[in-house]
Structure 1
Amino acid sequence: MKYPNLFEPLKIGNLEIKNRYAMAPMGPLGLGDCEGGWNERGIEYYTRRAKGGIGLIITGVTFSDTEVEKPSFPNTPNSTYNPVQFVRTSREMTERVHAYGAKIFLQMSGGFGRVTIPTNLGEFPPVSASPIPHRWLDKTCRPLTKEEIRGIVESFGKGAYNAKRAGFDGIEIHAVHEGYLIDQFAISFFNQRTDEYGGSLENRLRFAKEIREEIAKTCGWDFPVAMRFSLKSMVKDFREGALPGEEFEEKGRDIEEGIEAAKLLEKFGYNALDVDAGTYDAWWWNHPPMYMEKAPYKEFAKITKDNVNIPVIMAGRVDNPDTASECLESGICDMISLGRPTLADPDIVNKIRRGLNKQVRPCISCQEGCMGRIQTYSLINCAVNPQCGKEKLNAYNPIVKKKKVLVVGGGVAGCEAARVLAERGHEPVVYEASDRLGGNLIPGGAPKFKEDDIALAQWYTDELERLGVTVHLNTKATDKEILDPSYDSVILATGSRPKMFSLGDDEKVFSAEQVLLKKKDPGQEVVVVGGGLVGCELALDLAQNGKKVTIVEALDKLMAVNGPLCSANKEMLERLIPFNGIDVVTSAKVTGFEGGVLKAETEGAIKEIKADSVVLCVGYASENSLYNQYKDDVDEIYLLGDARQVSNIMYAIWDAFEVANNI
């Protein structure tokens, strides 16, 4: 075994966990039922991760209070609303999880307070420690009364008791972390109270202290309780967070106070600290996008571990086992928490243990299938794994008769279709016109911060080879192949092409793909026309490589269309644009490019921008000519990916899975 320290047992309190991997808590939206229990999807979802080798599962957030932030089912489970239903469904889940040798903690929340996502929890007046601005809504929060605080505390004791009855091995409290309700009490910037819950740090942590004591009353002190904990808040102001490397005045919890808070939480009886950094005002810290470096919490976990004598758990893009092993070896943390990587590949831990790292499907940190869908649709899924959150619904269908299937196009849609067909026992044959598989993943993954896109393209290449799929590179499919009667089905996944138009000096007008793949040199001063996701990421990459960049966008703001794009990704990218010196011109219509000057009409005036080149990022057009040519000549023919409708990686993969799983 290459990483023996990742597979040593660990104790949290008196509970022994079989290895050093935890499944990080992620909101279980879509996994609860209408009575506060778990639905079948939720039970299958967690059981599947236990089967994949995780030592400790920490469920996503659940609630116990039913009075202050009233439940809105079926969003997230509630351990006191209907105890019989909660215990019954939880028991079914914990028994199945335990069958694989995994342990499971129920994450219990004191509430959202000022950070409630309106689409998730219904309509109720937002509450907090004090009358402070809501994170998303144009509202001021109502301060909790002491009676309400006491009621929430008591609900924790009752809920934890029900969890223990249901077979949960412990509790994680949600949280002195990310600016949730208990954290709003803990952070002086949010807490302006003058009673025993305000003022000193110990007073501001009284809420967390009373919760720990209440759980001990109902479950005993030997029942493990961990705390989700952000050492540093990264808050510049309400709704304003700091970027990595940015100098700023911390208005939330600074490191010095974070150390004291960690020591107090240990003193209160918490058995482990699950460490990160950030708040909803700096959401990209708690939910790091691809623009954040890998393992961004190492500093904070190490500081915490150096100051407490209880286990420290660390999450945050630690999918590389070399990094994880080094973090344990160097005393940064005691346990590695994998969140999104377990969505992308539920077998990641078993694959690492068996030395099958190449077979781990990479998380690309897009957050479109997880956080984006949680925010927008109250569902947790995964962009690269269509079976996540739908483990039973999207199980591989058995085949009745083996079919030979032609797949034209080796982008993500074509690769996913071929992979699923081969997994099920069919015989796919792939034709790709270029010299490698991956399609738009290749130029899209060119920036340093998009390395996982390249990893996904390589994973598809390796998987198709492992599955024995015949792949013809540098070969265009013609009518000879498409009309070949030996194929039972034909899938056309021929992708898209960038939209281009003439601006005058077209020798210096390029596509994003040409620049990203270094087929064209954009020079030192570059204008990017189009402020969608592609344009913004290209501009960031160019700026980080020393170019002077201006984005010109026709709409009144950047990234105004498409989605669901997680707020953490969008807001971080929006702030990285000015942070990296990129100029932005919005509500502008480009009219021409001559003599090294781009002209754009904006608010009735003409703006001139000096540029060595112009890069057009104004969208893509479907390449569906083959389908239109042969759709009436082939009995079973499908159009997938951008060729059907230009979209994102997630929908290309999901649509391909749906079709390929039903051939």
Structure 2
Amino acid sequence: MIQYASLFEPVRIGRLEIKNRFAMAPMGPLGLSDTEGAFNQKGIDYYTARAKGGTGLLITGVTFVDNEIEKHAMPHVPCATHNPVHFIRTAKEMTERIHAYDAKIFLQMSGGFGRVTVPTNMGEYPPVAPSAIPHRWMDKICRPLKIDEIRHIVNMFGQGAFNARRAGFDGVQIHAVHEGYLIDQFAISFFNHRTDEYGGSLENRLRFARQIVKKIKQTCGEDFPVTLRYSPKSFIKDYKSGALPGETFEEKGRDIEEGIEAAKLLVAYGYDCLDVDVGSYDSWWWSHPPMYQKKGLFMPYARLMKEAVDVPIICAGRMDNPATAVEAVEKGVCDIVGLGRPLLADPDYVNKVMGNDIQSIRPCISCHEGCMGRVQTYSALNCAVNPQTCRERTAAYNPILRPKKVMIAGGGVAGCEAARVLATRGHSPVLFEKSDRLGGNLIPGGVPDFKEDDIALVNWYANQLETLEVDVRLNTRVDAAHILSGSYDAVIIATGSYPRILSLGDDDHVHTAEEVLLGKKNPGSRVLVAGGGLIGCELALWLAQQGKQVTIVEQMEKLLAVNGPLCHANSDMLEALISYNGIKVHTGTRIQSFRGGNAVCTTPDNEVIIHCDSVVLAVGYAPDRSLYEEIRFQMPNTYVLGDARRVANIMYAIWDAFEVANGI
């Protein structure tokens, strides 16, 4: 008996039947294209793995239809019109493999990024837009598109869709009247100041989108599905300024009233399905929701679209809980559940839901480190918790010649990942953890309610190691003598890190972030958090949400200066939440002492006295390498991983552990 049976009923988009109610949401395929604009082998393997994992409909990340008007450095993302013969040949291999699993695939095609082009992905080419408006990231004014350029892009959509159909794609998705990309910039009056046929009334502002679907239907036939990525609300307060959940503000972008009206027009123009989210690049934390956004945040907007138009609705946005997905489908919120980052984390998500094996689904932690952080910094799509994402072939599990007994000291994420990979490959890991629980620094880090998925990841590792029958020994501290006498073939030291401590005077009221998060210390009602990195900022937010008066003191000139690559959706929302929750911030400031409820801090110009009940230290961690240093020259095949090697983030702890464990 399938527990979530309604998610596995077929659904139609136009005349196309999809075997279940799951769609892979589009995520930018950076690193998955070759220099001729085709999907490379990485891209083919990546999408095929999600089809093999049971997903009914795959929607590729954004691809371009034109590289003349808005030029892009190659290779960037695929382009169906750059070298059509090569694109069709390579894409046909991909679609044939996907169809073997009875899955369908749509090519997402973009008219361009306009004012939101990420500078690292744009090269030296000037940004374009509907009007002379500010660029989102750079201090530049965009060049307005000419009418003949708009018509050229529309024609290229027709050619691109024709090539997609020849290559075996089952439909296309237009990117988009969504998130403030180029076609959306035309649709929103805040960005569109034109006085010609593409500006003014809503119908004129939607003319670009209307002409695109008309051209594709003319070229590919009325039966070829054309879907639209669509945002019925923008959450724009101003250029480069977005609204927070619950914030009262004047909408400068598309409001709900116009969002409903526009949806009706777009469906009347011929779009066969709306893939719904909200937000814009000016309010990026809506379009790419970090852990500070609630689960299922797009559901209210998807319901509005479901009630307004008579085409299927796709709803994504932190929909990784199968119970939430069932509720959305059964209560008429949407017809199809979109999964983006959850399918980066676990390509077999859908098959596991179908098999009632929910506890084995590797959770997405909404960190954006492996996906958007790497996309914006390195032009590469990956996943923090799944090192094999977009590297399915090159990071496949290596076969072993002889099983080895491998000792692992430390049960944080690095130690757990190493044990999981070793056991999966057929080795015999033995994991020792000095505490009574696996997880390491994720345990205190996962205390705030917005970090619940960190604990879900810990629980997933515990379940995996139990399923793989890994020998896990909790409450056991190992020393060099044990390691050297244990007849191990290899040793992994993953002993983690410890918080850096400052002595400030009244040390009875100076605590570490870990002590406060775990409830070992009560910081009082007025708290000074020393350190404005990720840990300090999240701790401050958690304390402020409990009604405490919180001040952050950071010696660098800005918050979150040393963390990265953080996606702007995460860092910008966290900084906005700090201000919104009344947290005071002193940057360029160093704490010197704390006595009698007074923290003495200094800046380059003066001294600042901050009254508080306690100081909570979030000034970083130091690697715990003592055990490694003691045995490194006595035990061959010894490796050091995680924070014990280099204090970093979850992604590098997991990736490094995978790399080493897959090579033993």
Q: Which residue of 1 aligns with 2:205?
A: 204
Q: Which residue of 1 aligns with 2:291?
A: 290
Matched, 1:127 2:128: yes
Matched, 1:144 2:145: yes
Matched, 1:368 2:369: yes
What's the offset of the Cα at 1:485? 4.6
Matched, 1:491 2:527: no
Equivalent residues of 1:344, 1:384 under 8 A apart: yes
Q: Which residue of 2 aligns with 1:391?
A: 392
Q: Which residue of 2 aligns with 1:29?
A: 30
For residue 541 of structure 1, give the secondary structure of its aligned residue in structure 2. helix
Task: Give the AA of the match of 2:215.
Answer: E
Q: Which residue of 2 aligns with 1:587?
A: 588
**Unmatched 5+ residue regions in structure 1?**
none
Equivalent residues of 1:71, 1:78 under 8 A apart: no
Equivalent residues of 2:642, 2:653 under 8 A apart: yes
Q: Which residue of 1 aligns with 2:403?
A: 402
For residue 407 of structure 1, give the secondary structure of its aligned residue in structure 2. strand
Matched, 1:53 2:54: yes
Q: Which residue of 1 aligns with 2:320?
A: 319
What's the offset of the Cα at 1:69? 1.2
What's the offset of the Cα at 1:630? 0.7
Q: Which residue of 1 aligns with 2:79?
A: 78
Give me the whole-angstrom Cα distance separating, in 1, the residues matched to 2:430 and 2:324: 37
Task: Give the AA of the match of 1:220.
Answer: G
Give me the whole-angstrom Cα distance separating, in 1, the residues matched to 2:546 and 2:458: 24
TM-score, scaled relative to structure 1 = 1.00
Matched, 1:269 2:270: yes
Give me the whole-angstrom Cα distance separating, in 1, the residues matched to 2:136 and 2:605: 36
Equivalent residues of 1:232, 1:254 under 8 A apart: yes
Please give the per-residue CA displacement for 1:574-622, whole angstroms capped at 9, x wherever unaligned.
1000101100011111110000111101232111111111001111000
Task: Give the AA of the match of 2:534.
Answer: L
For residue 51 of structure 2, give the secondary structure of its aligned residue in structure 1. helix
Matched, 1:171 2:172: yes
Q: Which residue of 1 aligns with 2:568?
A: 567
What's the offset of the Cα at 1:44? 0.3
Matched, 1:609 2:610: yes
Task: Give the AA of the match of 2:327.
Answer: E
Give me the whole-angstrom Cα distance separating, in 2, the residues matched to 1:519 and 1:121: 49
Task: Give the AA of the match of 1:392.
Answer: R
Q: Which residue of 1 aligns with 2:501?
A: 500
Task: Give the AA of the match of 2:610.
Answer: I
Give me the whole-angstrom Cα distance separating, in 2, the residues matched to 1:169 and 1:31: 20
Matched, 1:661 2:652: no
Within a 5 Å distance, the mapping from 1:404-423 to structure 2 comes to 404-423=405-424
Alignment length, in residue pairs?
663
For residue 451 of structure 2, give the secondary structure of its aligned residue in structure 1. helix
Task: Give the AA of the match of 1:477.
Answer: V
For residue 108 of structure 1, give the secondary structure of its aligned residue in structure 2. strand
For residue 263 of structure 2, give the secondary structure of its aligned residue in structure 1. helix
Give me the whole-angstrom Cα distance separating, in 2, the residues matched to 1:469 and 1:281: 47
Question: Greater CA deviation, 111-120 or 474-483?
Answer: 474-483
Q: Which residue of 2 aligns with 1:246?
A: 247
Give me the whole-angstrom Cα distance separating, in 2, the residues matched to 1:439 and 1:651: 15
Give me the whole-angstrom Cα distance separating, in 1, the residues matched to 2:67 and 2:341: 29
Q: Which residue of 1 aligns with 2:338?
A: 337
Q: Which residue of 1 aligns with 2:383?
A: 382
Give me the whole-angstrom Cα distance separating, in 2, the residues matched to 1:432 and 1:590: 35
Please give the per-residue CA displacement for 1:425-469, whole angstroms capped at 9, x wherever unaligned.
000000000000000110000000000000000000010000000
Give me the whole-angstrom Cα distance separating, in 2, the residues matched to 1:561 and 1:501: 19
For residue 585 of structure 1, give the secondary structure of its aligned residue in structure 2. strand
Within a 5 Å distance, the mapping from 1:191-230 to structure 2 comes to 191-230=192-231
Matched, 1:475 2:476: yes
Q: Which residue of 1 aligns with 2:352?
A: 351
Task: Give the AA of the match of 2:600.
Answer: K
For residue 326 of structure 2, give the secondary structure of its aligned residue in structure 1. helix
Task: Give the AA of the match of 2:330.
Answer: E
Give me the whole-angstrom Cα distance separating, in 2, the residues matched to 1:485 and 1:449: 42
Q: Which residue of 1 aligns with 2:541?
A: 540
Equivalent residues of 2:72, 2:125 under 8 A apart: no
Q: Cα RMSD between the aligned structures?
A: 0.6
**Unmatched 5+ residue regions in structure 2?**
none
Equivalent residues of 1:188, 1:199 under 8 A apart: yes
For residue 12 of structure 2, give the secondary structure of its aligned residue in structure 1. strand
Equivalent residues of 2:494, 2:644 under 8 A apart: yes
Please give the per-residue CA displacement for 1:226-253, whole angstroms capped at 9, x wherever unaligned.
0000010000000000000100000000
Equivalent residues of 1:409, 1:432 under 8 A apart: yes
For residue 55 of structure 2, give the secondary structure of its aligned residue in structure 1. coil
Give me the whole-angstrom Cα distance separating, in 2, the residues matched to 1:61 and 1:604: 49
Please give the per-residue CA displacement for 1:345-385, whole angstroms capped at 9, x wherever unaligned.
00000000100000000000000000000000000000000
Task: Give the AA of the match of 1:142.
Answer: R
Within a 5 Å distance, the mapping from 1:609-648 to structure 2 comes to 609-648=610-649
Please give the per-residue CA displacement for 1:392-450, whole angstroms capped at 9, x wherever unaligned.
00000000000000000000000000000000000000000000000011000000000
TM-score, scaled relative to structure 2 = 0.99
For residue 527 of structure 2, give the secondary structure of its aligned residue in structure 1. strand
Please give the per-residue CA displacement for 1:74-111, whole angstroms capped at 9, x wherever unaligned.
11000011000110110010000101110000000000
What's the offset of the Cα at 1:635? 1.0
Matched, 1:9 2:10: yes
Give me the whole-angstrom Cα distance separating, in 1, the residues matched to 2:299 and 2:249: 20
Q: Which residue of 1 aligns with 2:430?
A: 429
Give me the whole-angstrom Cα distance separating, in 1, the residues matched to 2:472 and 2:249: 52
Q: Which residue of 1 aligns with 2:257?
A: 256
For residue 376 of structure 1, give the secondary structure of its aligned residue in structure 2. helix
Task: Give the AA of the match of 2:273.
Answer: A
Q: Which residue of 2 aligns with 1:183?
A: 184
Give me the whole-angstrom Cα distance separating, in 2, the residues matched to 1:294 and 1:558: 26
Equivalent residues of 2:306, 2:333 under 8 A apart: yes
Please give the per-residue CA displacement for 1:157-193, whole angstroms capped at 9, x wherever unaligned.
0000000000000000000000000000000000000
Give me the whole-angstrom Cα distance separating, in 2, the residues matched to 1:301 and 1:202: 22
Please give the per-residue CA displacement for 1:515-556, whole angstroms capped at 9, x wherever unaligned.
000010001000000000100000000001111100000011
For residue 658 of structure 1, give the secondary structure of its aligned residue in structure 2. helix
For residue 306 of structure 1, give the secondary structure of its aligned residue in structure 2. helix
What's the offset of the Cα at 1:484? 2.5
Give me the whole-angstrom Cα distance separating, in 1, the residues matched to 2:113 and 2:71: 11
For residue 207 of structure 1, give the secondary structure of its aligned residue in structure 2. helix
Q: Which residue of 1 aligns with 2:101?
A: 100
Task: Give the AA of the match of 1:598.
Answer: A
Give me the whole-angstrom Cα distance separating, in 1, the residues matched to 2:221 and 2:123: 34
What's the offset of the Cα at 1:67? 1.1
Q: Which residue of 2 aligns with 1:87?
A: 88
For residue 108 of structure 2, give the secondary structure of its aligned residue in structure 1. strand
Give me the whole-angstrom Cα distance separating, in 2, the residues matched to 1:616 and 1:591: 13
Q: Which residue of 2 aligns with 1:509?
A: 510
Equivalent residues of 1:13, 1:222 under 8 A apart: yes
Give me the whole-angstrom Cα distance separating, in 1, the residues matched to 2:95 and 2:122: 26
Task: Give the AA of the match of 2:102.
Answer: G
Q: Which residue of 1 aligns with 2:155?
A: 154
For residue 656 of structure 1, give the secondary structure of its aligned residue in structure 2. helix
What's the offset of the Cα at 1:66? 2.1
For residue 459 of structure 2, give the secondary structure of its aligned residue in structure 1. helix
Q: Which residue of 1 aligns with 2:112?
A: 111
What's the offset of the Cα at 1:125? 1.1
Provide the identity percentage: 65
Give me the whole-angstrom Cα distance separating, in 2, the residues matched to 1:528 and 1:274: 42
Give me the whole-angstrom Cα distance separating, in 2, the residues matched to 1:488 and 1:556: 48
